[in-house]
Amino acid sequence: MNKGLLDGQVAVITGAGSGIGRAAALRFAEEGASVVTCDITGAEGETADMIAAAGGRAVAQKMDAGNEGDVSAAVALAQSEFGGLNAFFANAGITGTPTGEEFLDHTPEIWAEVLRVNLIGPYLAIKHAAPVMQAAGGGSIIATASVAGIRANAGPVAYSASKAGVMNLVQTSAQELRGSNVRINAICPGLIETGMTKMWYELARMNGAEDKMGQSNPMLRGGNPEEVANVALFLASDLASYVNGQSVAVDGGLSSGHPFGKKLDREVLRKIMAAQAAQAATADAGKA
């Protein structure tokens, strides 16, 4: 296995059983990291096996990302198995909202569970990983937020609110840990084909509209987990040594503008401008 950007380093990755988490675990290992793959699904072991089969080093731990004991145990496992901890990718998350249920019908229990996993989970990663990293001279903590945390209409309400919280969490945590050499950043994925978006992709395929997915961003397509994993790799590496307290959108440019419709035909636009000019000339003539 090739070694590179994370040669000799140790990383913990949550949500590593599939999607962005699995892609990141494989990518980190490819670049030389020893990886603790964590997930609640049981698929974390498959990811660890994939890394081992490619010649890398990995150990799996079943983890509830919002459970403090599980998070603490993952950090301890990284230390005992691989001798330290350099990067923690707090990627695990849930949408939490029952399909088809109206916003005003959501219960406090639904909100509490979404916040527990999506927001408290990254906080617990910071709480337990930062002291270990600081004692070793520094490290990188990355949390998965979302474009849903930047603007509305990109996800369910509770999910969106939790991801906005993650974006604020990395800012405030970076300030709280000033001087520690522990960098804390977030990634804001846009439309990425993962287990979380599987239903929408399958529906589009059933309707012959897969090519319409992602048409609201300037790149006119959805993304793949590997594209997000590459940004996580950058943030975990020394290439991002001066990047701290930031939320990086990986969304094909979706969050760079406001929603828009089909571009107006240039000939139609010329006619509109000519009509406006004629109206202005008529109004000026009337004043004279």
The yes-or-no answer on residue 242 being catalytic is no
* Residue 273: inside a domain: no
The pLDDT assigned to 201 comes to 60
* Residue 193: inside a domain: yes
Average pLDDT over residues 217-223: 81
Domain residue limits at 48 = 10-261
* DSSP notation for the chain: ----TTTT-EEEEESTTSHHHHHHHHHHHHTT-EEEEEESSSTHHHHHHHHHHTT--EEEEE--TT-HHHHHHHHHHHHHHHS---EEEE------PPTT--GGG--HHHHHHHHIIIIIHHHHHHHHHHHHHHHTT-EEEEEE--GGGTSSSSS-HHHHHHHHHHHHHHHHHHHHTTTS-EEEEEEEE-SB-STTTHHHHHHHHHTT-GGGTTTTSTT-S-B-HHHHHHHHHHHHSGGGTT--S-EEEESTTGGGS----SPPPHHHHHHHHHHHHHHHHHHHHHH-
The pLDDT assigned to 214 comes to 59
Q: Is the pLDDT of residue 227 over 90?
A: yes
pTM: 0.87
* Residue 276: inside a domain: no
Percent of the chain with pLDDT over 90: 67
* Residue 4: inside a domain: no
**Catalytic hit among 123, 159, 201, 242:** 159
* Residue 78: inside a domain: yes
Residue with the bigger pLDDT between 3 and 66: it is 66
* Residue 278: inside a domain: no
How sure is the predictor about 229, in pLDDT bands with cuts at 50, 70 and 90? very high
The pLDDT assigned to 139 comes to 98
How sure is the predictor about 155, in pLDDT bands with cuts at 50, 70 and 90? confident
Q: Is the pLDDT of residue 263 over 60?
A: no
Supply the CATH number for residue 90's domain. Answer: 3.40.50.720
* Residue 158: inside a domain: yes
Average pLDDT over residues 192-199: 70
* Residue 57: inside a domain: yes
Per the structure, how many domains does the chain have?
1
